[in-house]
C-alpha cells in the first residue's frame, strides 16, 4: 500500500502500482488487418519493444451493434467491406483464434487480453483467464456493461474518451461499489487528436479525485513525447496502438506507433521513471567533480589577520583554489574571528568557534 493506492496484481510478476514500472499496453486492436499471422507478428514486435501486454478488441457484432448499424454503408478508404457490419466481421477474430493468439503470447512471454465490447465478449474474456479486461471509451458510459464486467471480479482498465467529468465520476462510483481493482485511463478519442485537445492535466485531476485507484493514459496522438509526459504526470498504465506500417488501410494505423517508435517509447518511459526518482533533495555523489571545480568559497577581499573579527566588507565569494569554507556558510563566518592570517583573494579555512575566542 502506498499513497492510499494498493497494488493491482494482474498476474505472475506483473502489477500496477507506485513501486512498479508503468504498465505498458501495446494495443493491436484491429491493426492486424483481419490476418492472424499479422497479429502474431505484432505480438512478437510488442514483446521485442518491451511492452508488458498486448491487447485486442473483442466484439460480438449483433450484441454491440443494431442491425441497421451493421447494414450501414461504410464508405471509407479504411473499409474492409461494403457495410460497417461486413467491415467489422472481416476484422473480428473467432474464439478459437483468440485462444491461439493467447497461447502464442504465453509462449513468447507477454500478457494477452482484449477489450470486451459487449456482455457476450466480456463473458468470453472472463472464461479464458485474461489478466484484466479493458473497457474501451465507447463503453465508458455503458453502466450496465461496467457493472457486468465488475461482477467478474477481474481487474478492469477503463478508458474515458468521449466523456465529460460527471460521467467519469459516475464510472468511478459505479465500479467502486463492486470493487477497487480498476484503473481509469484519460483518453481523447480522436485519431489523432489535435495536441491542444489532449489536456494531460486531466491526469492530475483524476489522481486528486480518485485517491484509491491508479490512473493511466490511452493515447492516440502522433509521436511519443506526450505519452512519455503522461507518465511524468502519474500514469501507471500507458496504452498506445502498435502497427507494422502506418500507411496501411485502417482507421488507427496513422495514429499508431511503429515498432521503432514503440521501442523508443518504452525506453524513454523507463529512463524517465529512473529520472523521476524520489522527492528527497540532497547532494548526489555524482555532483562531486562539479563541486570540486566550480563551487564557491568565502575569500578575503582584503588581508585579514589572525584574531581579527570577520565583517562583511572583508570577505567576498569566489571559486578559489584551494577551496575554503563553502559560500553557503557566510552567515556563520560573519562576526567570528579568523583563526589564521589570510591574504587578500585567499580562501578562509579556519574561524574561531565563536566570537568570544
Ligand X SMILES: C=C(OP(=O)(O)O)C(=O)O
Ligand Y SMILES: CC(=O)N[C@H](C=O)[C@@H](O)[C@H](O)[C@H](O)COP(=O)(O)O
| CB of 286 vs ligand X, minimal distance in Å | 39
- Interacting residues toward ligand X by CB under 6 A: 27, 57, 115, 134, 136-138, 159, 161, 185, 187, 189, 218, 239
Per-position x/- string for 28-47, each x denoting binding to ligand Y as judged by CB under 6 A, each - no binding: -xx-----------------
**45 or 252, CB closer to ligand Y?**
252
**58 or 337, CB closer to ligand Y?**
58
Judged by beta carbon distances under 5 to 8 A according to partner kind, the member of ligand Y, ligand X, none in contact with residue 78 is: ligand Y
Judged by beta carbon distances under 5 to 8 A according to partner kind, the member of ligand Y, ligand X, none in contact with residue 252 is: ligand Y
**159 or 297, CB closer to ligand Y?**
159
* 81 scored as a contact of ligand Y (CB under 6 A): no
Judged by beta carbon distances under 5 to 8 A according to partner kind, the member of ligand Y, ligand X, none in contact with residue 187 is: ligand X
| CB of 137 vs ligand Y, minimal distance in Å | 5
Among the residue ranges 95-103, 134-142, 272-280, 326-334, the one whose residues contact ligand Y (CB under 6 A) = 134-142
The residue within the footprint of ligand Y, chosen from 97, 119, 142, 251 (CB under 6 A), is: 251
Judged by beta carbon distances under 5 to 8 A according to partner kind, the member of ligand Y, ligand X, none in contact with residue 134 is: ligand X
| CB of 158 vs ligand Y, minimal distance in Å | 13
| CB of 241 vs ligand Y, minimal distance in Å | 7
Best CA proximity match to 54, nearest among 43, 38, 65, 64: 43
Best CA proximity match to 335, nearest among 351, 346, 318: 351
The residue within the footprint of ligand Y, chosen from 17, 34, 50, 138 (CB under 6 A), is: 138
Distance of alpha carbon 25 from alpha carbon 225, whole angstroms: 16
Judged by beta carbon distances under 5 to 8 A according to partner kind, the member of ligand X, ligand Y, none in contact with residue 251 is: ligand Y
Judged by beta carbon distances under 5 to 8 A according to partner kind, the member of ligand Y, ligand X, none in contact with residue 324 is: none
Within a 13 Å sphere around the CA of 266, how many CA atoms are in the beta-carbon half?
Answer: 21
| CB of 69 vs ligand Y, minimal distance in Å | 11
Q: Which residue, chain included where needed, has cell 491526469?
A: 203
**137 or 338, CB closer to ligand Y?**
137
Number of C-beta neighbours around residue 8 at 10 A: 23
**189 or 251, CB closer to ligand X?**
189
* 252 scored as a contact of ligand Y (CB under 6 A): yes
Binding residues (CB under 6 A) for ligand Y: these are 29-30, 57, 78, 136-138, 189, 191, 251-252
Amino acid at each position: 500500500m502506498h499513497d492510499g493506492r494498493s497494488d493491482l496484481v494482474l498476474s505472475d510478476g506483473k502489477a500496477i502500482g507506485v513501486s512498479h514500472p508503468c504498465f505498458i499496453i501495446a494495443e493491436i486492436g484491429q491493426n492486424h488487418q483481419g490476418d492472424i499471422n499479422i497479429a502474431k507478428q505484432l505480438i512478437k514486435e510488442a514483446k521485442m519493444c518491451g511492452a508488458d501486454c498486448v491487447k485486442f478488441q473483442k466484439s460480438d457484432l449483433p450484441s454491440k451493434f443494431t442491425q441497421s448499424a451493421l447494414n450501414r454503408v461504410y464508405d471509407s478508404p479504411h473499409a474492409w467491406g461494403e457495410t460497417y457490419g461486413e467491415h467489422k466481421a472481416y476484422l473480428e477474430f473467432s474464439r478459437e483464434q483468440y485462444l491461439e493468439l493467447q497461447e502464442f503470447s504465453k509462449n513468447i512471454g507477454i500478457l494477452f487480453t482484449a477489450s470486451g465490447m459487449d456482455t457476450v465478449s466480456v463473458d468470453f474474456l472472463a472464461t479464458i483467464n485474461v489478466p484484466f479486461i479493458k473497457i474501451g471509451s465507447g463503453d465508458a458510459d455503458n453502466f450496465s456493461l461496467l457493472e457486468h464486467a465488475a461482477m467478474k471480479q477481474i481487474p478492469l482498465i477503463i478508458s474515458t474518451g468521449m466523456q465529460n467529468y460527471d460521467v467519469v465520476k459516475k464510472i468511478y462510483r459505479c465500479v467502486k461499489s463492486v470493487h477497487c481493482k480498476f484503473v481509469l485511463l484519460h483518453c481523447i478519442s480522436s485519431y489523432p487528436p489535435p495536441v491542444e485537445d489532449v489536456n494531460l492535466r486531466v491526469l492530475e485531476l483524476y489522481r486528486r479525485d480518485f485517491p484509491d485507484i491508479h490512473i493511466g493514459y490511452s493515447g492516440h496522438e502522433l509521436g511519443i513525447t506526450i505519452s512519455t509526459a503522461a507518465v511524468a504526470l502519474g500514469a501507471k498504465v500507458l496504452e498506445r496502438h502498435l502497427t507494422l506500417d502506418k500507411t496501411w488501410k485502417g482507421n488507427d494505423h496513422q495514429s499508431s506507433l511503429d515498432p521503432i517508435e514503440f521501442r523508443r517509447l518504452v525506453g524513454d518511459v523507463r529512463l524517465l521513471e529512473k529520472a523521476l526518482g524520489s522527492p528527497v533533495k540532497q547532494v548526489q555523489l555524482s555532483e562531486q567533480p562539479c563541486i570540486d571545480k566550480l563551487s564557491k568559497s568565502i575569500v578575503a577581499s582584503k588581508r585579514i589577520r589572525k584574531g581579527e573579527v570577520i565583517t562583511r566588507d572583508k570577505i567576498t565569494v569566489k571559486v578559489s583554489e584551494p577551496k575554503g569554507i563553502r559560500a553557503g556558510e557566510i552567515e556563520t563566518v560573519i562576526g567570528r574571528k579568523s583563526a589564521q592570517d589570510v591574504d587578500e583573494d585567499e580562501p578562509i579555512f579556519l574561524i574561531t568557534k565563536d566570537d568570544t575566542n
